[in-house]
Amino acid sequence: MTGHIDYTIRFAVDPATAARMDTDALRRNFHIGDLFRPGRISLTYSHYDRMIVGGAMPVDAPLPLEAIRPTGTARFLERRELIAVNIGGPGRVEMNGESFRLEPRDMVYAGMGEEVTFSSEDPAAPAKFYLLSAPAHQTLPRRHIRIGDAKRLDLGSAATSNERSIFQFIHPEGVKTCQLVVGMTQLAPGSVWNTMPCHVHDRRMEAYLYFDLDDSARILHLMGEPGETRHIVMAREEAVLSPPWSIHSGCGTANYAFIWAMAGDNVDYTDVEMVAMETLR
């Protein structure tokens, strides 16, 4: 723990070990809860492509993003890049003196070397910044992307319970990053399935944050090798890590939204290996 920042570390797990895990072990290794705590920054340092997944919830005072021991650097973004997506009330992200106002579902990109501080406009309805960070090899321009500016794809249908809108915040034709690829998917009312038929991408890990659902609703997140699947029960504003060898899919008790983020060898959104339905077990 560092001041107002808490962090945990998650080590990489191979498929054979994951297949032998019980419910508690699966949750200890892949599930991330308690992301948004008033006045705190909560981070999970993952050994999958060194991705950091976290949450910042400023209330009465700004929260600076400071270095943590696992990065081995004097400043958090000394050798990293960052994306922050706001899923709470209106807030601000300040980077080296420049301030960006984020409405719900807006995001900012902070390049290598930036100093970042988070704040809320109204303590009664604080911002909730979902944080994603990966190693960087060059400094790229800071960017503010509103939800209306994201590349939108409308896919699926009510007949297959997966009618959805995909919002690509970061993609090769738009904002440039070193390795982060981030977007959001909103399922339409009556649709509950995401990423089915499913896929894997051995060159990138992925993380999901599920939100925009009632406290009593749940999502069964599917993971594991296609022939050796497991599930993790997810509640609102909880995240889950997906290793490169694992599928990542889910089915909810109601419609929902989720933020997906990848890091790894490339930034090609289409670089996936589809899984045939008959091979799932």
CATH code for the domain in which residue 172 is found: 2.60.120.10
29 in any annotated domain: no
28 in any annotated domain: no
- Indicate if 75 and 126 belong to the same structural domain: yes
Quick one: CA dihedral 190, 186, 48, 64, positive or negative? Answer: negative
- Indicate if 133 and 178 belong to the same structural domain: no
Q: Is the pLDDT of residue 2 over 70?
A: no
At 139 the pLDDT is 97
Annotated binding-site positions: 199, 201, 206, 248
| Surface-to-core class of residue 148, CB atoms within 10 Å of its CB (0-12 exposed, 13-18 middle, 19+ buried) | exposed
80 in any annotated domain: yes
Q: Which residues constitute the domain of residue 138?
A: 5-12+34-146
Annotated binding-site positions for Zn(2+): 199, 201, 206, 248
* Predicted confidence (pLDDT) per residue in 67-103, tens digit: 999 999 999 999 999 999 999 999 999 999 899 999 9
User: Of 101, 91, 151, nearest to 124 (Cα)?
Assistant: 91
* Domain boundary residue, one of 146, 176, 201: 146
Least confident of 107-111, 121-125, 137-141, 169-173: 169-173
Residue 145's CB: how many other CB atoms inside 10 A?
A: 23
Q: Are strands 98-102 and 249-252 parallel, antiparallel or unpaired?
A: unpaired
90 in any annotated domain: yes
* Predicted confidence (pLDDT) per residue in 114-133, tens digit: 999 999 999 999 999 999 99
* Predicted confidence (pLDDT) per residue in 208-224, tens digit: 999 999 999 999 999 99
